[in-house]
C-alpha cells in the first residue's frame, strides 16, 4: 500500500510534496490537467490521485513535454513520452556514485522521476548488491 494511500492533503502540504507553487497547481486544475479538489476554498482537500497527477506533470514538464502532450498521457495515451533530446546549452544535474574501481553509476533523478530519498535508497541498494557480489578484500 502506498504511504499516502488514504491521506488527504491541504494545498500547502500538496505543494510541499510536489515542489510546485500554489498558482501552478491551481492553473493545472483550471485547465483540466488535474482533478478538482474535494471541497471548496480553504476546505479543499487533495488525495493521493492529485499527488500522483502533479508528480507526473512535473516530471513530464521537466522532460520538455507540452501541456497538450501531458493531457494526452494523463488521459491514457499508450505511447510513452519521447526522450528529451540533449541540446547545446542544456544544464543537467546528475548524481554520480563510485561503487568501486571501474564501477560507477550515473543517475539523473529528475528524468528518472526519483525523489532525493528514493535516489539515496537506490544508491544504497546498488552498494549492497555490489557487496554481495564482491565483498571487500580484508587484506586491502
Domain ranges of the chain: 11-74, 95-133
Q: Identify the CATH class of 11-74.
A: mainly alpha
CB 95 within 8 A of CB 118: no
d(CA 117, CA 37): 27
* Long-range pairs, 130-139, Cβ under 8 A, ≥24: 130/99, 130/100, 130/103, 134/100
Identify the pLDDT of residue 19.
92
pLDDT digits (tens, 9 = 90+) for 66-87: 888 888 888 876 555 555 566 6
Mean of all residue pLDDT scores within the chain: 83
Question: Is residue 102's pLDDT more than 80?
Answer: yes
Amino acid at each position: 500500500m502506498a504511504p499516502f494511500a488514504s491521506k488527504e492533503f491541504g494545498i500547502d502540504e500538496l505543494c510541499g510534496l510536489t515542489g510546485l507553487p500554489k498558482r501552478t497547481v491551481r492553473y493545472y486544475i483550471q485547465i483540466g490537467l488535474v482533478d478538482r479538489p474535494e471541497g471548496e476554498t480553504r476546505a479543499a482537500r487533495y488525495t493521493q490521485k492529485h499527488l500522483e497527477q502533479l508528480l507526473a506533470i512535473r516530471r513530464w514538464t521537466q522532460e520538455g513535454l507540452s501541456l497538450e502532450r501531458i493531457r494526452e498521457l494523463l488521459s491514457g495515451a499508450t505511447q510513452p513520452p519521447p526522450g528529451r533530446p540533449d541540446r547545446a546549452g542544456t544544464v543537467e544535474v546528475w548524481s554520480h556514485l563510485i561503487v568501486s574501481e571501474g564501477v560507477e553509476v550515473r543517475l539523473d533523478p529528475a528524468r528518472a522521476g526519483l525523489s532525493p530519498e528514493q535516489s539515496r535508497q537506490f544508491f544504497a541498494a546498488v552498494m549492497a548488491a555490489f557487496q554481495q557480489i564482491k565483498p571487500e578484500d580484508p587484506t586491502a
